A and B are shown apart, each in its own frame.
Chain A
Amino acid sequence: MPDQLLFAIEVTLNGLMAGVLYALVALGFVLIFKASGIFNYAQGVMALFAALTLVGIMDGQVPFEHLINAVFGTDIHGFGWEVPALLAILLTMVVMIAFAWAVNWIVLRHLVGQEPIILFMATIGLAYFLEGLGDMMWGADIKTLDVGLPQGINTTIDEATFNMFGYGFFIDNLDITATIIAAVLVAVLVAFSQYTKQGRALRAVADDHQAALSVGISLNFIWVLTWSIAGFVALVAGIMWGAKSGVQFSLSLIALKALPVLMLGGFTSIPGAIVGGLIIGVGEKLFEFLVGPLVGGATENWFAYVLALIFLVFRPQGLFGERIIERV
C-alpha cells in the first residue's frame, strides 16, 4: 500500500479515538439536556474540577491551602499522605454528588420555569464560579494525573502493522483504554436507564415533566441524579483528558469541542453524541492532515464548527435529534 494511504488510515484511527473522548464530554451534556432541558455549559469545567479534585485528594493537598496561608499567615503544605487512586476516585465522586446537590438546591430550584437562555446563562455563571473554586481549592498550577492507566505507544499494534504493511501504526495505549472505558460507560448508562427504577423515572422526566410529576416522580431527586451522573461522566472525561495532557485550565475548553458534536448528533440523543463525536474526531484529524498544510495548519480549532454549521443548514435538528415541530 502507498505511504500516503497508510498515513491516512493511521490518522483516521487516531481521529476515532479522539472522537470517543469528545463523545464522552458530549454525553454529559445530553444527559442533563434530556432530563431538565438545561444546556449545561459548565460540563467542561466540571471535568476540570473533577480532575483537579482527584489529583488534590491523591496528593493529599489541603483544600484552600493558599487561601488559608494568605489569610491566617500559616504555612500549610498538604496533609503529607497519599491516597490510592481507587479511593480517591470514590471520594471525588462524593464531591461531585455534593456539587450536584448544591447546584440543584442553590441555583436551579430558583430558576424553574425560566426561559432556556436564562438557564444557559446561569450555567455559564456556574462555570465561572466552579473555575474560580477549583483553582482556589487546589491551586492553579499544571498537575499531572496518574491513576495507573497504561500510556505510550501500543507495541503490539505497532509490530503487527509493521509486519503486515511495512509501516508501524502509532496508537496510544491511553486512547485504546479510553475507548474501552467509554464503551463500558455507555453500556452501563443504557442498562441503567433501561432496567432500573431510577433509570425509568429519568426517562419519564425526559419525556414529559408534568406527566412524570403526576405519577409521583420527584423532579428534585431526578435532577440531582442526572447532575450526579453528569458529574460522574465529567470525572471519567477529566481522568482521560487529564492523563493525556495534564490537569490544567485548557481542560475546561473541551466543553467547546463537545458543542459541535452535540449539534451534529442532536442535543437529545445519546447515540447521536457518540456518532457525532466519531465524525468530528475523524473529520478534523483528516482535514488537518489533508488540507491543513495548504492553509497554514491549526484547522482543528474551527473545522468541527464549520462542519456542524454546514450540516445543520441541511438538517436543523442534527443527525439523531427529535424532529422540530413548530406551532403558532
Chain B
Amino acid sequence: MLYREAGDFKTTYREDGQTFPIRLDRTAYFAILAVAALFVPFVINDYWLNAVLLPFLIYAIAAMGLNILTGYCGQVSLGTGAFMAVGAYACYKLMTAFPDINIAIHIVLSGFITAGVGMLFGLPSLRIKGFYLAVATLAAQFFLVWLFNRVPWFYNYSASGQINAPERTLAGFRITGPETQAWAVYLFCLVFVVASAWICRNLTRGAMGRKWMAIRDMDIAAEIIGVNPLRAKLSAFGVSSFFVGISGALFFSVYLGAVEVGEAFGINKSFLVLFMVIIGGLGSILGSFLGAAFMVLLPVLLKNVLVGGLGWPTDLAAHLEYMIVGGLIIFFLIVEPHGLAQLWRITKEKLRLWPFPH
C-alpha cells in the first residue's frame, strides 16, 4: 500500500472533494480515531489524563479557534485567554443557574455566548489592522479579566473570588467535580474535539473559509471582488470565539475544576495558544493539533528529563524551560516559518514520489 493517488479513482464530485483524497490518509485518520475512541479509554490513568491528554485536547480546540481567526482570516488576536475566560464563566453561571440541564448543552451555550462577546470585541477590526489590532485585542484581555475579578455576580459572590465547578454527571458517569472517572472525562472531551475539528475543517474549505482567506490575503482586493469585510471579519471573530469559548468552558469545568481568572486565563494563556498556532502552522487544522501537542508535551518532557532525570532543583528547571521554549520558537520560525503542518506537507510530497523521486 503505497502513498499515492494513482489507482484511487474518483467517480463522483463528492469523492473528489473529500478532506483526505489519498486512501492511506483516510485509513490513517480512521485508525487514529479508532485508537483514540476505542483503545485509549481502557488504558488511560489519571496522570496521563491530567498531564497530557486533557490539556492537549482542550488546547487543540482553542488553537483551532484562534487558527480560524489568525490563520484563515489574518486577524492577529492576543485576547484568547480572555475569551477562554468568557467561556469558563459563562459555563459556570449556566451550571449554577440551571443545574438540571445537561452539561454538554451548557458548554455549547457558553460557546455561543463567547461568540457574541468575541464579535463585540471584533468590531474595531473593521477600522484597524495588523499590530494595531493585535494590541487592541489586548484591551479585551485586560478588561475582561478585570471584569471577572471585580464584579461579584460573575463568581456568585463567593468569598474567595474563585469559581468552582459543581458535580455534574452525563449518562450516569461523573464528568466534573471531584472523583471523576478518567475515561469518561477523556471521551467527553474527545467528542468535542472531533466535532470541532470536523466543523472547522468543513467551514474553512467552504464559501465562508474562502471569504476569510480572501480577506487575509488582501482585504481591499477581497472587498472589490464582492466579499463583505464586515460579515467576513465578524463571522471569523464569532466562529473563532465560539471554539475558544468551548475550550475555556472545558478547561474550567472538566480540567481545572477551580479557577482564579487572572491566573488561569491571563495574558500568558493568550500567548501560549498563539504559539501553538504559529508553531503548528497558520491556516491549518492539522497544525492546530500538532502545535497543541508540541506545547503540551514539551514542558512535561523537560520536567521529566531535568527534574526527574538529572535531579536539578525545580526553579532552575523552570528557567531552563523558558529558555528552551523561547529558543525553540525562534528555531522553528527560522527553519520553517509555516510551522509543523508545512513540514508534514513537504513530507507528504516526498512520500508521493518515494521510492523513485526522479
Contact = CB atoms under 8 A, between A and B. Distances in A.
Does more than half of chain B's interface fall in helix, strand or loop, or is it mixed? helix
A140 B328 CA distance: 22
A124 B330 CA distance: 9
Contact of A313 (B128, B220, B278): B128
Interface in A270-328: 295-299, 301-302, 305-306, 308-309, 312-313, 316, 318, 326-328
Nearest to A307: B139
Contacts of B275: 121, 124
A136 B312 CA distance: 13
Contact of A312 (B124, B150, B323): B124
A148 B224 CA distance: 62
Interface string B216-236: 001011001000000000000
Contact of B271 (A124, A136, A308, A312): A124
A39 interface: yes
Contact of A128 (B131, B312, B329): B329
Nearest to A45: B326
A306 to B, nearest CB: 5
Interface residues of B, number: 48
Contact of B150 (A125, A298, A308): A298
A135 B318 CA distance: 10
Contacts of A312: 124, 127-128, 132, 136
A132 B136 CA distance: 28
A312 B126 CA distance: 11
B198 to A, nearest CB: 28
Interface stretch (A106-114, A151-159, A182-190, A210-218): A106-114
Interface string B276-311: 001000000000000000000000000000000000
B330 A129 contact: yes
Given A132-B322, A302-B143, A116 B130 contact: yes
Contacts of A124: 271, 274-275, 329
The contact size tier of chain A is 35 or more
Contacts of B128: 312-313, 316
A118 interface: yes
A305 B142 contact: yes
B131 A120 contact: yes
Contacts of A305: 135-136, 138-139, 142-143
Nearest to B143: A302
A133 interface: yes
B131 A129 contact: no
Interface of B: 76, 124, 127-132, 134-136, 138-139, 142-143, 145-146, 149-151, 218, 220-221, 224, 267, 271, 274-275, 278, 312-313, 315-316, 319-330, 333-334, 337
10 contacts: A111-B334, A116-B130, A120-B134, A122-B330, A124-B275, A136-B316, A297-B150, A301-B146, A312-B136, A316-B127
For the complex of A and B, 5 pairs with smallest distance between CB atoms: A132-B322, A129-B326, A128-B326, A125-B329, A132-B323
